[in-house]
Amino acid sequence: MKSKFDIIILSLATDDLSFNTTKKCVDSYITTANELVNKIYVVESNKSFDQNYNQPKVEVIIPQEEFCYNKFYNIALEKCKAEFVMGPNNDLIVHAGCLQTLAEEFDTNPEIQSICPIDRNWGKHSKIYFPNDDKLYYGYDVSLHMYGGIFCCRRSVFNTIGFLDERFYFFYQDNDYACCLQRCNLLHGAHTKARVSHQCGGSNRIAPKKFQYLPKNMNTQGDIFANKWYNEEPFMSGGYKQFKSYPL
């Protein structure tokens, strides 16, 4: 089976602990699905980063700009060439069979455009919400169908929605992505057979204060999100606009 996935991981590796956190994420892809991985782009916020992942498929990108989740993701996105793009948090581990499940679903279901794996340790992914049935559940509900820890989509999705909106520097980017998909009638779902484990907030201990989960930070980004989808044209009236085109 040919390589199908480009992986984008945003990292802040300032010490051995934070470096090894990202490395575990990288290694989980190589260990479980090396044949399906084209490239792993690690977008590093530490401008002095000088460590080596010792994986030939890894390319480290160190932007000179201040960290912005969507901007840094877009920087790597422009380099992607594989059929599918996957964006895990750096403190996440993919389980055996995860990428294989996603590849099979995309290959046999031409309607689906975007899929999130599930994490059984995440409250909304418990058996109360998703039974053990190895199925795809369609929907756009954030933290249920749209899991903030990881998503995967056809690269062609970005032909429609353009680059991610760079006004979202850390919070509400998953909400915005879900709204973009729904507005453009691009089907999304969560697959109960594709499993991951996420150490929620694992990197937040070393993040600058503006990226910490504080009410002020989250409310500021929440106001941008609400204004975009309820006050800005053409979003508020049911239209859609691209922020940037995506060069395939």
- pLDDT band for position 246 (cuts 50, 70, 90): confident
- pLDDT confidence of residue 247: 73
Sign of CA dihedral 202, 205, 207, 212: positive
pLDDT value of residue 245: 86
Tokens of 130: 């998703």
pLDDT at 202 over 60: no
Query: pLDDT > 70: what percent of the chain?
Result: 96
**Do strands 37-44 and 58-61 pair parallel, antiparallel, or not at all (unpaired)?**
parallel
Q: Where are the domains of the chain?
A: 5-235
Res 210 pLDDT > 90: no
Q: What average pLDDT does range 82-100 have in this prediction? A: 97
pLDDT category of residue 3 using cuts at 50, 70 and 90: confident
Contacts for 61 with CB less than 8 Å, ≥ 6 apart: 41, 42, 43, 44, 75, 76, 79
What pLDDT is attached to residue 1? 52
Decide which of 3.90.550.10, 3.30.70.1140, 3.65.10.10, 3.30.360.10 is the CATH code for 5-235. Answer: 3.90.550.10
CA-to-CA distance for 191 and 133, rounded, in angstroms? 9
Which residue from 217, 227, 248 is spatially nearest to 176, judged by alpha carbons? Answer: 227
pLDDT exceeds cutoff 80 at 207: no
Do 59 and 41 meet the contact criterion of CB atoms below 8 Å apart?
yes
